[in-house]
Amino acid sequence: MTSTYDALVIGSGTAGQAAAYELNRNGLSVGLVEHGQQPGGTCALSGCQAKKWFYEGAETVARSRHLTDLGITVPALGSWSQLKEAKNRFTAKVPTNTVNGLKKAGIDFIPGHARFVDPKTISVDGRRIATRFTILATGAAPMKLPIDGAQLMVSSSDFLELDRLPRKIVFVGGGFISFEFAHFAARLGSEEIRCTILEAGPRPLGPFDGEMVELLSDASAKAGIAIHNDVNITSIGQTGSSFTVRTEDGRRFDSDLVVHGAGREPEITDLALDRADVQSSRRGITVNEKMETTSPGIFAAGDCAATVQLARVADAEAQTAAANIVSSCKDNGYETFMDYTAVPAVLFTYPQYGMVGATEDTLKDDGIDYEKSAGKELGWPTYRRVGMKSAAFKVMIGRTDRRILGAHILSDNATGLINTFTLAMHNRIPANELHRQSVMTPYPSRESDIIYMLKPLL
């Protein structure tokens, strides 16, 4: 027997749920397929939401250490096991809440593995489902690495399930996962934790601004995190409970744990995309700005698409795809497009690194005429009060139109600060107007410091 839906969503993570609810809200019959044993997606279960429980603890410890000369006589101590228990109390409810929420809304939850039969038919564990539209939101998984002994690495999900932190940890790859988790570990162990990040390229955190990455790397080193660049790993070996990472140039790094932090790849290999004429690359499923794939009626959103792997980007892409499907059903001619010009990103390290827009290197490479305001080791009262000596910023604007081209901030509140610059970019607000609007902010606050960042650009 064949079931029929207006739209079928494959994947129950943040993109899948956002798409399903939007389609359902507009009156379409919707089914959502999930093959995992725990519906809810990586973000909630073992990614951005789950890790934040550990970040809050690590931030508190780091802040208290900075305040030892400012009136806090006993620094906070972190308990990894208790933070894990708190995290688990949250994540344990995610699968049930996900399924119940979908069912309550009238969305059919369909457990099983989805594979295309043709562009309009999908098989879920042998059950055929006909659909007018499909949204692929299957997410990503740890990238397979051509390293002898790669199976000895633990994933980021595994890391968050550790009962205790080992004394020596090696992180393979110098991206989001490695930096954030190294900052957690360096502050949450019952004893001193030695963290080492091994990056294959000339510098870590490739998408971020090079100068700001250097400043963050310096702050990381002061927290006890060693960073090695241009490291070509050839093998990972195990002797008893110890591990050895060997490199092409003969170096070895001994550890009690090796963590895979070298990126994630789209989880699309089992979908039989060729049967639906859906094209993809190593980066993910090929989509246009309407989130349409190369096959009419099939869309993709989130980490499985060849776009940007960030949770809120996934939500925006899912809503864009859903809006275009609804428009097609209503035949109203309305089209919705994604705009990646002002996509904010934040590293939950300490200090946090928030960015939006272009890096200075990109502006130089593209020959764009710009002006810059920058500062490091900021001595503003907001940072002196909390003992933070690594706060920094860089703001770039167009020389002619005076609009924000890129903003980069190291701060204990980079998340809040970068949102202000994101809104300014979205609304095409020039620097002088943003400065004027920022004068009347609560004072003193991190946000009230924005006027100091922009003053040299007036």
pLDDT at 247: 98
Which CATH superfamily groups domain 3-141+265-329? FAD/NAD(P)-binding domain (3.50.50.60)
**What 8-state DSSP symbol labels residue 169?**
E
- What amino acid is encoded at 150 in this protein? A
Q: Is 178 annotated as a binding residue?
A: yes
Q: How far apart are CA 344 and CA 152, in angstroms?
A: 34
Q: Is 445 annotated as a binding residue?
A: no
pLDDT at 91: 97
Q: Is 177 annotated as a binding residue?
A: yes
**What 8-state DSSP symbol labels residue 449?**
G
pLDDT at 20: 99
Q: Is 52 annotated as a binding residue?
A: yes
Measured at the CA of 328, the angle between CA 114 and CA 99, to 5 degrees, comes to 40
pLDDT at 37: 87
Q: Is 56 annotated as a binding residue?
A: no
The alpha carbons of the chain give a radius of gyration, in whole angstroms, of 23
Instruction: Render each residue's pLDDT in the chain as its tens digit; 458 residues.
Output: 678 999 999 999 999 999 999 999 999 999 999 998 899 999 999 999 999 999 999 999 999 999 999 999 988 999 999 999 999 999 999 999 999 999 999 999 999 999 999 999 999 999 999 999 999 999 999 999 999 999 999 999 999 999 999 999 999 999 999 999 999 999 998 778 999 999 999 999 999 999 999 999 999 999 999 999 999 999 999 999 999 999 999 999 999 999 999 999 999 999 999 999 999 999 999 999 999 999 999 999 999 999 999 999 999 999 999 999 999 999 998 999 999 999 999 999 999 999 999 999 999 999 999 999 999 999 999 999 999 999 999 999 999 999 999 999 999 999 999 999 999 999 999 999 999 999 999 999 999 999 999 999 99
Q: What are phi and psi of 194, to 5 degrees?
A: -100, 115
Q: Is 263 annotated as a binding residue?
A: yes
Question: Looking at the domain that runs over 150-262, which CATH code has it been given?
Answer: 3.50.50.60
pLDDT at 189: 84
Contact present, 370 and 398 (Cβ < 8 Å)? yes
Does this model's pTM top 0.75? My answer is yes
Q: Is the fold of 3-141+265-329 the same as that of 150-262?
A: yes
Contact present, 185 and 175 (Cβ < 8 Å)? no
pLDDT at 74: 87
Q: Is 451 annotated as a binding residue?
A: no
Q: Is 398 annotated as a binding residue?
A: no
Q: Is 179 annotated as a binding residue?
A: yes
pLDDT at 216: 99
pLDDT at 190: 72
Q: What are phi and psi of 239, to 5 degrees?
A: -130, 110
Q: Is 261 annotated as a binding residue?
A: no
For 411-436, letters b (16+ CB in 10 Å) and e give: bbbbbbbbebbbebbeeebbbeebbe
The CATH T-level fold of domain 344-457 is: Enolase-like; domain 1 (3.30.390)
pLDDT at 1: 62
Domain ranges of the chain: 3-141+265-329, 150-262, 344-457
Taking alpha carbons only, the member of 58, 59, 57, 65 closest to residue 387 is 65
Q: How far apart are CA 353 and CA 408, in angstroms?
A: 7
Q: Is 192 annotated as a binding residue?
A: no
